[in-house]
Structure 1
Amino acid sequence: MLRTMWKGSIQFGLVYIPIKLYTATEDKDIKLRMLHKDCMAPINYTRTCSKCGKEVKNEDIVKGYEYTPGQFIAISEEEINDLQDDMSKSVEIINFVNLSDIDPIYFEKSYFIGPDSGQGLRAYSLLRQTISDSGKIGLANIIMRSKQHLAAIRSYGNGMLLETLFYPDEVRAMNDVPGLNDIIAENAPKEVEIATQLVEQLTAEFKPENYKDNYRLKLEQLITNKVAGVKPAQKEEIPKANNVVDLLSALEASVKQNKPKKKTTSRRKKTI
């Protein structure tokens, strides 16, 4: 059962659709704790003041902003709530755009949109079908966890999906990446030809179920074995990579390595 993490409404013109948001993805990383090597017990961390060194209780903690090095101004929860006004519970669709117009770098996190009450089911269904039939997505603003997000609303299965987006000023400039100015303007035609051939060989239909987190699976197995007292298997030596002289040779070797294997047909002997 999914847990509601946000409750409010979608504003579609003058139509208000009561909704609930549910986190659509989950982090399955295996969390390793910090332990004391001698006692094999977890390490405790306490909140202390950097000035007086005293331990600080939760009720004595306030939020603040460092406006100049070493100088802070306190911001209360009431002041933050006043800035949000009525936006905190409303998702107003402001535009409709093509999904292909949004570069994937802007996408942040996905949430399932579920109806909040039976009275809003008809409006929810209408918006989902309208978005699906149009082939477009709705752009909206939403405030979650004291932060305003740009969000994309699109149809997904028999429901809808809300995906938070980064604002343009949150995406760093590509030109700031070191070394880009040193890239050559044009590549050798033969290298481009072989590289394109390699891309064609590796092209496949995207099926999410074909991709697995191999590192996590190995770590899970390691933990299971250690709990059961099973010693890890001896690690096989990884063969050294061939010394490839240049880029073209590397591409040609890659194409040769990824060539589909021919099916061998075995001839049956005739029986008399």
Structure 2
Amino acid sequence: MRSIWNGAISFGLVSIPVKLINATESHSVSFRQIHTEDGGRIRYRKVCELEDREVGQDEIGKAYEDADGSMIPITDEDLARLPVPTARTIEIVAFVPEERVDPLQMGSAYYLAASGAPAAKPYTLLREALGRSNRVAIAKFALRGRERLGMLRVVGDAIAMHGLLWPDEVRAPEVVAPDAGVTVRDQELDLADALMATLGEIDLDDLHDEYREALEEVVAAKAAGETPPQAPEAAPPGKVLDLMAALENSVRVARESRGGETSGPAEEAEVRTLPRRGASSRWTPKETGGKKSTSTTAKKTTAKKTTAKKTAAKEADGRKATEKKPVAKKPTAKKRAAKSAQPAERSAARSTAEKATGAGKSTGERSTGAGKSTARKTASRKRSA
């Protein structure tokens, strides 16, 4: 790998010659600008404004533009003689716990390679000291015409350096934070925890740039004279009306994508929609789990059974009354005879008839016989009188 900077690490009085190498590389697809009419390349030529001619790279230098527009040339020798110790040195200034470094400050990543055999021993010493201390080194260095801040840490058997922004280059987050007064319920936090537990962890090596792969397919198809693949039409995003419903639905989808794995609360979560504004809640019957209440169903079933029993009993009484109609004529004759009798005799006949009528079903025939006997006695008394 090609180095982009050569210098040394200053570790107290120890100097470690190193080479700076980019630790990352870009795999993005790059494009060229063309003339759409004929496909010709669009190029940028470096032209001197005073001579109106194109110049080569060996004729190009650096300059600082002053406030009045004048140019002040700055040579590489001027930069090399800067009165700062970091011009060619990565100067370690402190060792701190890694969590003290704000990830917002992290920029480009580099590998520090030992430059030559004499650098192997001090390089290994610094690497082992960093690993045993569980700390990172904060350093200052100069690169591409400016002094920078860096963080050194152990990666495998090498020392890596992350370029850091200066603290005053990081903007405060208050300007983008939501307004105060938002309350998050415990149920929503529980569902968020369930969603995080369901998604779980992932091996970062399994992640890849799908956009780049799709772009390469489009380029290959057009190069072969074929129709580029088309993306399926995405459904328009729905408006989230209920945060709880969105969380519950997310947990369900995440579990289905994980093959039905379950963990955490909300094992049987279901999506609930908010009622319409202004709608009366009396129009919506209360249900549990989408089913009617068991107690209500039982009550309705009992009421139906009771009504059926009463109807059957009425029909049975009607049939019995129809069968006993011939017997019921004699109490009627008895009452007519009792009306013409004396008050005392009529009262006795009425009492006897009531007893015969109020008797039970099991003694119905005996009561009928007793009624006949009483009627005969009453008629005999009337004739003797």
User: Residue by residue, what CA displacement relative to the aligned partner does 1:142-182 show, whole Å, maximum 9, x if unpaired?
Assistant: 111111111111111111101110001111222233xx352
The match for 1:74 among 57, 72, 82 is: 72
CA distance in 2, matches of 1:199, 1:187: 17
Amino acid of the structure 2 residue aligned with 1:236: P
Give the strand-richer structure, 1 or 2. 1
For 2:92 and 2:51, the matched residues in 1 are separated by 49
Aligned to 1:202: 199
Change (3 A) 1:56 1:182: farther
> 1:98-122: per-residue Cα shift (whole Å, max 9, x none)?
1111111111011111110101111
1 or 2, which has the higher helix percentage? Answer: 2
User: Counterpart in 1 of 2:227?
Assistant: 231
Greater shift, 10-19 or 231-240, is seen at 231-240
Structure 1 residue 208: Cα displacement: 2.2
After alignment, is 72-81 or 106-115 more displaced? 72-81
- 1:79 deviates by 4.6
Cα distance per residue 1:124-155 (max 9 Å; x no partner): 11111111111111111111111111111111
2:123 match: 124
* Structure 2: runs of 5+ lacking an equivalent: 262-385
Task: Tell me which residue corresponds to 2:252.
Answer: 256
Question: Aligned runs of 1:65-144 on 2, under 5 Å?
Answer: 65=65, 67=67, 71=69, 74=72, 76-77=74-75, 79-83=78-82, 85-144=84-143
| Backbone CA RMSD of aligned residues | 2.5
Distance in 2 of aligned mates of 1:32 and 1:39: 17
The answer for the alignment partner of 2:162 in structure 1 is 163
Larger Rg: 2
Runs of 4+ displaced beyond 6 Å: none
Task: Give the aligned residue type for 2:232.
Answer: E
Deviates further, 238-247 or 146-155: 238-247
After TM superposition, give the deviation of residue 71 of structure 1 in Å.
4.6
In the alignment, structure 1 residue 193 sits paired with structure 2 residue 190: yes
Specify the SS of the correspondent of 2:153: strand
1:93 and 1:141 in contact (8 A); partners too: yes
Cα deviation, 1:68-107, whole Å, max 9, x if unaligned, reads xx65563523554443545221111110011111111111
Identity %: 28
Please tell me the residue identity of whatever aligns with 1:33. R
- TM-score of the pair, normalised by structure 1: 0.83
Task: Give ranges in structure 1 of 5+ residues lacking alignment.
Answer: 264-272
Shift of 1:241: 4.3
Instruction: Report whether the alignment pairs 1:182 with 2:179.
Output: yes
Query: RCO (CA 8 Å, sep 6+): is it higher in 1 or 2?
Result: 1
Give the conservation status (yes or no) of the 8 Å contact 1:46–1:55: no
State the Cα distance separating 1:200 from its structure 2 match: 1.9
One-letter amino acid of the counterpart of residue 188, structure 2: E
Matched residue type, 1:76: I
Deviates more, 1:185-194 or 1:16-25: 185-194
Instruction: Say whether the 8 Å CA contact 2:91–2:140 is kept in structure 1.
Output: yes
Helix, strand or coil for the counterpart of 1:87?
coil
- Aligned pair count? 256
Matched, 1:220 2:216: yes
Equivalent residue for 1:29? 28
Q: Provide closer, same or farther for how the CA distance between residues 143 and 234 of structure 1 changes in structure 2, counting only shifts above 3 A.
A: closer
